[in-house]
Amino acid sequence: MSIAEIFNSMSYGPAPESETAARNWLAAHKGKFGLFIDGGWTKPRSNSWFESQNPARGEKLADIAAANDKDVGAAVAAARAAQKDWLAVGGHGRARHLYGLARTLQRNARLLAVLEALDNGKPLRETRDIDIPLVARHFYHHAGWAQLQEQEFAGFEPMGVIGQIIPWNFPLLMLAWKIAPAIAGGNTVVLKPAEYTSLTALCFAEICKDAGLPPGVVNIITGDGTTGDALVRHPDVDKIAFTGSTEVGRHIRKVTAGSGKHLTLELGGKSPFIVFDDADLDSAVEGVVDAIWFNQGEVCCAGSRLLVQEGIFDKLISKLRARMENLRLGDPLDKSIDMGAIVAPVQLAAIKNLVKKGTDEGAEIWQPSWAVPKEGCFYPPTLFTNVAPAATIAQEEIFGPVIVAMTFRTPDEAIRIANNTRYGLAASVWSENINLALDVAPKLDCGVVWINSTNLFDAACGFGGNRESGYGREGGHEGMLEVIKPKFLAKLPDYQTAAKAPGKRDATPSPLVSLDRTAKLYIGGKQARPDSGYSLPVFSAKDVKIGEVGDGNRKDIRNAVEAAGKAVGWTTTSSHARAQVLYYIAENLDARKDEFAKRLVETTGVTSKKALAEVDASIRRLFSYGAWADKYESRVHSPPMRGVTLAMKEAIGTLGIICPDENPLLSLISLAAPALAMGNRIVLVASETHPLSATDFYQVLETSDVPGGVFNIITGNRDLLARTLAEHDDVKSVWYFGPKSGSELVEAASAGNMKRTWVNNGKARNWFDMEQGEGREFLRHSTQIKNIWIPYGD
């Protein structure tokens, strides 16, 4: 083609990147890699290896070690041995190391970019311009958190040894997301990269050594799912951080239940890309390209559901097809291509199967006229129209370059369709009306919303999902809180169960009890008899029967959750209004102080002085959360872009709370008040041993302007009710404070819809202690953070 013809057509010619440096690096290792443990390379004890292949050409790149459980044990032991000295380096010392890693990464940026493109199949243009710069950014950013740790996170300590498992779609970037905050906080790590894409992680291990990182701080073990499972199950790992499929995340939740391991899960997604009729359609089309064909659609937050306002649907689809026709697919090392190769044949087959499912269910498929390369794992950009919201391809994560388009008429309908999925990772909203965009964004049930943009990431802005997209955040201030823990937790004593369980004593009423009293449940703002028709005896501290409470069951929980679901007005009301209600509850409790103190003396056997102190502490706690209601506020980040990111603290929704037996009034208030202050509606299971403080308390609620359904109280068998709450799909989070076995029960049962949990792992808190019983820890568990990206300017 002549120069004149090139200028006439303006078509791109090939612009290949040299792969010499990457090939030389592979050759220097003789195409075979061991495990990186305790600062050096070791042969796998399994004596087993697997191939890493270039998906664009189907060629072998290297042999990778397959670690077994003994290799995992050696890596964990190295991390444990190194952790104390790494913590002793101090915040400034760790900051210098992270800064050094960032600088070394930048010096090796080109090598890493080429190696990532070879191993993963993604375009070099993306690895060079997006992935590797963000990797360095994460280490720079978290060097800052290490420097500021003593000031900004006073009272916290590292979790210890963190096991990390990352996926194959962003191999080095996910590594940076995991390792940078972990080691900044004083932890040591054992990281397992994806089986398909281990090479850049192994190159990073070499960079750690060259940069002078102390041995054992970072350990890299390679292998398949059995290696990851061994890491998850290892008893000396304090936390697991996992990014991958929802199915594997569910398995990890069940395996770690009751182990005391902290868990963050960043799982699958089916993110909506919402286009309103006032949007700039040309910009929206480019947004779609970035949303679903970036990294061949192998992105957990890919905008794979295109929701278009009905009046502009045909026009937008026409523009989108024209743009698809001009996308370029080919060799990932060609700098002029838009899409590279699918990571592996098995993933390509999975995409094809779901596409066939879509056509079988009646959706209309459209693909560009050009052919994909015959060699390698390639799949063309694909558009489905005439798709029902409940169709398989509209509900299941395809994890490939496939988008499904649907229409909506009103903003409310768009929100309903957007939220009609089990996932909740991200969303994009396109509109020239910023009022509309900012009205829609908080109503989307997801962790990240991009306005007139998509797939924006930064180390300062937390990332993570809701529902079956997982829980926990990575990046920013909230990401640091996922790798450190309050220091007092290590000193808590074991939870002590009651010496005599309710229902096992002599239930004959005392002759001193002249009036039989059976306390009802409290559901939807009303006293309600239990569905079971049965009641349970309640005994005093002297083993005298003093009354009965309802024996709540699954249907009672269902009714309470339904009532809480209808009380959404509490969540949307102003924080000032919620504060006034909390103050009013405190006022009415204070008016009945002597009555509640007498009940505590009767049921728990404490002295009158201690009982009054518990009631006073409960009143103070209500005042504290009345004060916090309008002061635990959102943050505004300034990432390196023309715009801001609003880290909005939102109520979780319907929250289940299982109360402990100790300090039955104070512990109840300490758990319920922060949840209410942040706008949650709660279903609370009262102390099994001392439930009457809770049933007396609903009389205070009835006179304190608490809307019906906001605060529901169930009595009965603690663990049976806890299991029901943990299994309920409409309960978004469960807090459990009780025996250790109950913590395991709740964590295992929560895996059904991957809800958040907060459990005490069989440890008892001093509810009178301000550090243990009140403050930001409780507020943090009462909220979820949604990062809303708001670009501005022409």
Residue 449 near residue 788, CB atoms below 8 Å: yes
Q: What is the DSSP letter of 424?
A: -
- Beta strand 272-275 with 426-430 is parallel
CA 446/CA 329 separation, integer angstroms: 31
CA 427/CA 302 separation, integer angstroms: 9
Which residues neighbour 208 within 8 Å (Cβ) at sequence distance 6 or greater? 36, 39, 101, 217, 218
What token pair was written down for 301? 């937050």
User: Can you state the angle between helices 575-591 and 593-604, rounded to 10 degrees?
Assistant: 70
Residue 737 carries which side chain, given as an amino acid letter?
F
CA 778/CA 622 separation, integer angstroms: 13
- In what order do the strands lie in the sheet containing 49-54? 32-33, 59-65, 49-54
Q: In 569-629, which ranges are E strands?
A: none
Q: What count of Cα atoms within 13 Å lies in the side-chain half-sphere of residue 328?
A: 16
Closest CA to 101 of 217, 246, 2, 17: 217
CA 759/CA 769 separation, integer angstroms: 18
The catalytic residue among 203, 300, 461, 659 is 300
- Ramachandran angles phi, psi of 732, nearest 5°: -90, -20
For residue 474, the tally of other CB atoms under 10 A from its CB is: 26
300 is catalytic: yes
CA-to-CA separations, 38 to 73, 236, 548, in angstroms, rounded: 12, 16, 60
Is 508 in a helix, a strand, or coil?
Answer: coil
Residue 106 near residue 146, CB atoms below 8 Å: no
Closest CA to 338 of 310, 370, 308: 370
- Ramachandran angles phi, psi of 512, nearest 5°: -80, -15
CA dihedral 343→348→354→360, nearest 10 degrees, is 160
The helix (H) or strand (E) run that includes residue 188 is: strand 188-192
Q: Which residue has the tokens 């949303």?
A: 291
What token pair was written down for 480? 């640091």
- Beta strand 382-385 with 364-366 is antiparallel
- Beta strand 32-33 with 35-37 is unpaired
CA 380/CA 355 separation, integer angstroms: 12
CA 550/CA 531 separation, integer angstroms: 9
CA 266/CA 129 separation, integer angstroms: 24
Residue 363 near residue 384, CB atoms below 8 Å: yes
Helix residue spans in 678-710 (DSSP H): 692-702
The catalytic residue among 206, 266, 482, 548 is 266
CA 641/CA 147 separation, integer angstroms: 24
What token pair was written down for 446? 């997801």
CA 475/CA 478 separation, integer angstroms: 7
Report, in angstroms and rounded to the nearest whole number, the Rg of the chain calculated over CA atoms.
28
461 is catalytic: no
For residue 58, the tally of other CB atoms under 10 A from its CB is: 12
CA-based end-to-end distance of the chain: 38
CA-to-CA separations, 587 to 441, 592, 601, 775, in angstroms, rounded: 37, 9, 22, 21
What token pair was written down for 487? 């220091």
Angle at 325 between CA 320 and CA 328, to 5 degrees: 115
**Residues labelled as active-site residues:** 266, 300
